Amino acid sequence: MDKDDGDFLNSPVQKTVRFGGSVAKILAKYKRGDTHDFELLKHQLSDPDIKDAQIMNWLQELRNCVTELTKEFEQLVFIVLKIPWLGRSPAVIEVYLAFLANLVSAQTVYLRSCLSMVVSNFTPGRIIIREDDVDISDSDDENENLPRSFDLCHRALQIIARYVPSTSRFLVPILREKFPFINKSPKTLECYVHNLLRITVSFPVLRREILELVIEKMLKLDVSASRNSIEEAEENAAQQAEEMAVASREECLFIMDEDEDNEHVNPPTDDRIMANPVAERLDYLMVVLLAYIKDICFVNDVLELTRTKELYKDLIAIFDKLILPTHASSHVQFVIFYLCSFKLGFAEAFLEHLWKKVQSPNNPPVIRQSAAGYIGSFLARAKFIPIVTVKACLDLLVLWVHQYIDSQDTGSKAFCDVMLHGPFYAACQAVFYTLVFRHRQMVDGNLRSGLAYLQKLNLERLVMCRLNPLKVCLPAVTNMFAAIMRKYQLVFCYTIIERNNRQQLSVVRSNAMGDCVIVQSNPLDTFFPFDPYLLKRSGTVIHGIYQVWEETDVNDTHGGKQQIKQGCRGGDEDDDFLRGETPKNDSMEGITPGSYDSHLRSPNSMGSPPIAFLQRPF
């Protein structure tokens, strides 16, 4: 806050002379029933062409009689609050801020209105664009004065909070109410979120609530732009660009003059723009949020542990409330992924938090299955997690799975049923998925010790148990897991997979139109939350800490029985290691949050930092 702010209440009032008397006399006349001068005052303050000197004179007089501006004169106060003060001269701005300070200190009934006025300026203003004799209102995204305007808005908030200590209690509902619709321009959303996050610095007590609001809105964007729709839009855009390039080259063949040839060269385009408009908006917001996380956690490029721990607690609370239960989000969860990359301890704490949810019977099965999916995907994708941490987590998962088999593999419930044993199957799939991605690190350097560790897991018992996890896990995962186990001669899974395929019955479901369709169902809905990050701008932050799929030796992975071919297709440029053939979710209920269009990916850079894992109870 500027040093002159303290002089607002004591600054002198300029004397003015005008017909009809001062503002105080106009208000007194209004109370006696004479409204003529009052209406004239309202008209003059509403004039869009009002001059700076006029504004200053009126505001000075209003400050002098602010104690008279009770609820009876709210129309006048609302007109004053609508004055476009941000684009005025510095003198007008100072007087206006002084008026706000006087108003909220003398008449707290206008606190919400003042806060609402300030927050409404967190986005670019509206301008009128004339196209084909039609006036179109659009966002003024190119306004160069936006940073100055935003600074003044935050200064106004601090001034109001100085005179009304309870300001923070009223602020969050207004921030939620004023949040732009998600179909607004990316710049509008970016500016508003940037200003919300800036408020958390001035009002630390509001940080968790504001972060929750921001992430809630971002999740709505995230689930609106499915992974398939983003990939399809990018493919279409690339195809159109290629067609235009071919057409341009063909046209240039007929142009002989060099200058004319240069005129037909297409101007360079920004290759960071997302073809999907919803993904474009989300990309802008992810850039802002990831930059905020880094600015909070690092001071002069040095990690501040205390600040990072506090932010981690806030994000974990929001993760539990919003992100973990959300169906098939693709990008927002990477805020946790990013923060955990700052220090191994945070990654371990996140894994411990997820593990507690998996093993606790007090949590709903749907949450336990989702948490297991997060564990498997996090272990597979986080480049910053060393192999010793991966082994420690696998030990816990496999031990729990064996204990579950001990308690359930005999008796009346010892049969394959996702509704009964959903968390068990999700944990098994997390084990399979992690081994598919990390097995090479386990055997590199010392094959004998690596194989000894894998044998110690007793995966054969897991595969052969009566609960039959290979039957319900994603076929793409089971196929690759079976190939790896066969390669190292640990477990031979193909007999079981073939038997499961023969026993697989067609499932009849109704689609959105009410028609019956026959599908081959994967009973365990699969969700790998840290599948490849598709957003281009914010992706530059994630790519350095993210492991993409590295092709394995296909001699063995394709050496199984030919019947086991569901979803196997490799891409030269894709990060796919497999795509499971799973049904679309037309009308299904009671399924774990996830995506039926699961894309299973895996790491590229397999080196882990030599950090000793601190053994801690999960």
pLDDT digits 0-9 by tens, 427-453: 999 999 999 999 999 988 788 899 999
DSSP string, 500-545: HHHHPPPEEEE-TTS-EEEE---SS----TTSPP--HHHHHHHGGG
CA gap 376, 358 in Å, rounded: 12
Is the per-residue pLDDT at 588 higher than 90?
no
Q: 């599948």: which residue's tokens? A: 531
Choose the weakest-confidence range: 201-210, 272-281, 403-412: 403-412
The 10 Å Cβ neighbour count of residue 410 is 10
3-state secondary structure (DSSP) of residue 11: coil
What integer pLDDT is reported at residue 22 of this predicted model? 85
What integer pLDDT is reported at residue 537 of this predicted model? 94
Is the per-residue pLDDT at 138 higher than 90?
no
Six token digits for residue 543: 């790519």
Q: What is the mean pLDDT of the chain?
A: 81
Q: Are 587 and 611 in contact (CB under 8 A)?
A: no
Q: Identify which has the larger pLDDT, 575 or 118.
A: 118
> Considering only CA atoms, which of 300, 271, 289, 273 is closest in space to residue 334?
289
The 10 Å Cβ neighbour count of residue 518 is 10
Residues 216-236, mean pLDDT to the nearest whole number = 93
* Residue type at 145 in one-letter notation: N
Residues 39-48, mean pLDDT to the nearest whole number = 90
Strand 126-131 and strand 134-139: the pairing is: antiparallel
Residues 173-179, mean pLDDT to the nearest whole number = 96
What integer pLDDT is reported at residue 502 of this predicted model? 80
Residue 473: pLDDT band with limits 50, 70, 90: confident
Residue 145: pLDDT band with limits 50, 70, 90: confident
What integer pLDDT is reported at residue 252 of this predicted model? 63
Choose the weakest-confidence range: 34-38, 81-85, 413-417, 421-425: 413-417
Q: Identify which has the larger pLDDT, 498 or 571.
A: 498
Residues 15-31, mean pLDDT to the nearest whole number = 73
Is the per-residue pLDDT at 274 higher than 70?
yes
Per the DSSP assignment, residues forming a β-bridge with 288 are none
What is the helix (H) or strand (E) element at residue 53, kind and residue range? Answer: helix 52-64
What integer pLDDT is reported at residue 136 of this predicted model? 57
Residues 283-294, mean pLDDT to the nearest whole number = 97
Is the per-residue pLDDT at 354 higher than 90?
yes
- Distances in Å between the Cα of 4 and the Cα atoms of 43, 203, 250, 482 are 32, 21, 66, 72
Q: Are 116 and 178 in contact (CB under 8 A)?
A: yes
For residue 268, give the DSSP letter: P
CA gap 566, 364 in Å, rounded: 31
What integer pLDDT is reported at residue 509 of this predicted model? 52
What integer pLDDT is reported at residue 521 of this predicted model? 52
Dihedral sign computed on CA atoms, order 141, 174, 178, 221 = positive
Per the DSSP assignment, residues forming a β-bridge with 130 are 135
| Three-state secondary structure string covering 289-325 | HHHHHHHHHEECCEECHHHHHHHHHHHHHHHHHHHCC
What is the helix (H) or strand (E) element at residue 131, kind and residue range? Answer: strand 126-131
Residues 357-362, mean pLDDT to the nearest whole number = 93
CA gap 34, 53 in Å, rounded: 27
What is the helix (H) or strand (E) element at residue 235, kind and residue range? Answer: helix 227-252
Is the per-residue pLDDT at 1 higher than 70?
no
Choose the weakest-confidence range: 121-125, 158-162, 259-263: 259-263
Q: Which residues contact 546 (CB under 8 A, 6 or more apart)?
A: 337, 381, 382, 383, 530, 532, 533
CA gap 85, 93 in Å, rounded: 6
